[in-house]
Chain A
Amino acid sequence: MIEFAIFFFFAAIAVIFALVVILHRNPVVGALSLVASFFALAVMYVLLDAPFLAALQVIVYAGAIMVLFLFVIMLLNLQHGSEPATRPVQQFLGYAGSAFFGLALVYYLVKYTVLQLPPGPFLSDARAIGVTLFEAYIFPFEMVSILLLAAIVGALLLSGRGARPEVAR
């Protein structure tokens, strides 16, 4: 089955590049690996019958948010490995705790989610999403637009010159 081959190939890409994000010391390499991981996740969205959200994933996440990350990393000139070493006890507790958490998560997923295969294809084109968004979810949609406006104002205020105390006084 070609579908399963695509799933395993892109799942492997997503996991490998996610590991590069957390293991590589250069944040630029981490950000670019995260873009690759997000592209692989967009393929997963296509496999889940949601091509509109796959397009949003590529445009919004890989296109906009990660470019913002890269801009900030390059603006702060962080690519020369200025990160100090983590304490060994923190490293050990982090790896051990997250490994335990992940194993428990996968164990309970395998044990308790016995799901039937869904019947037939799932119709979720942009039209159906738009109708649902503007009928049932119109109030949260407007709230999100206000939230984005507040985020723009907050980001300008925090990163502008007014945030420095000697200028604010």
Chain B
Amino acid sequence: MIPTSWFLILSAILFTIGVCGFLTRKNGITMFMCVELMVNAVNLTFLAYARQFHQLHGLIFVFFVMAIAAAEAAVGLAIFISLFHHRETIDVDEANLMRW
């Protein structure tokens, strides 16, 4: 069997890639995809610990995280469509009305 630590390290690498993309990109939808990447990395951690301790609760949490990610994606993309209608761009630096 594959050790649990390897899954945790893979999850850490994917989470870090997500953080890096979120910090360095300006396209709103790409930043959103990086958030999905981080959410999936955390799901992998939940499942790795669920198998490690033989608990079903980790799997249930992954189920809830998927449902909330779906809701978040729907609302977030609707916000980007609305932003595009107003500003003709989804560059997040352009949406600076509430900055500072």
Which A residues fall within an 8 A CB radius of B?
3-4, 7, 11, 14-15, 18-19, 21-22, 27, 30-31, 34, 37-38, 41, 44-45, 47-50, 52-53, 56-57, 60-61, 64-65, 68-69, 72-73, 75-76, 78, 82-84, 86, 90-91, 93-95, 97-99, 101-102, 105-106, 109-110, 113-115, 117-118, 122, 124, 128-129, 132-133, 136-137, 140, 144, 147-148, 150-152, 154-159, 163-164
Q: Decide: B70 and A148 in contact? CB cutoff 8 A.
A: yes
Q: Are B47 and A50 in contact (CB under 8 A)?
A: yes
Q: Which of A65, A84, A148 has the most CB of B within 10 A?
A: A65
Cβ contact within 8 Å between A152 and B18: no
Docked pose: A129 CA to B5 CA in angstroms? 24
A19 to B73, CA, bound (A): 21
Residues of B within 8 Å of A72, CB to CB, are: 29, 77, 80-81
Q: Check B14 against A15 for contact (C-beta < 8 Å).
A: yes
Q: B95 in the interface, Cβ–Cβ < 8 Å?
A: no
Which residues of chain B are near A118, meaning CB under 8 Å?
1, 4, 51-54
Contact check, B37 vs A37: say whether CB atoms are below 8 A apart.
yes
Q: Give B40-54 as 1s and 0s: 1 = Cβ < 8 Å from A's Cβ atoms.
A: 100110011011111
Q: Which of A47, A72, A94 has the most CB of B within 10 A?
A: A72
> Which residues from B are CB-within-8-Å of A86?
24-26
Q: Are B7 and A69 in contact (CB under 8 A)?
A: no
Interface pair A68/B24, CB less than 8 Å apart = no
Nearest chain-B residue to A149 (Cβ)?
B71
Neighbouring A residues of B69 by C-beta, 8 Å:
61, 65
B50: contacting residue among A37, A90, A124, A159, CB under 8 A: A124
Nearest neighbor of A24 in chain B, beta-carbon distance:
B30
B85 touches A158 (CB 8 A): no
Interface positions of B from 81 to 99, Cβ below 8 Å from A? 81-82, 84-86, 89-91, 93
B4 contacts which chain A residues (CB < 8 A)?
Answer: 113, 115, 117-118
The reply to whether B5 and A113 contact each other, CB–CB distance below 8 Å, is yes
| Chain B residue contacts of A163, Cβ below 8 A | 82, 85
* A97 to B51 CA separation, bound complex (whole angstroms): 32
Which chain B residue lies CB-closest to A49?
Answer: B51
Please, which residues of chain A bring their CB within 8 A of the CB of B82?
158-159, 163
Question: Contacting B59 at CB < 8 Å: which of A109, A129, A152?
Answer: A129
By the criterion CB–CB under 8 Å, are A147 and B71 in contact?
A: yes
Q: List 30 A-B contacts (CB under 8 A).
A: A11-B6, A19-B17, A21-B33, A22-B18, A22-B20, A41-B43, A41-B44, A44-B10, A50-B51, A60-B66, A65-B69, A68-B73, A68-B74, A69-B73, A76-B80, A78-B27, A83-B26, A86-B25, A86-B26, A98-B19, A101-B16, A105-B16, A115-B52, A117-B3, A128-B56, A132-B56, A133-B60, A133-B63, A144-B68, A147-B71
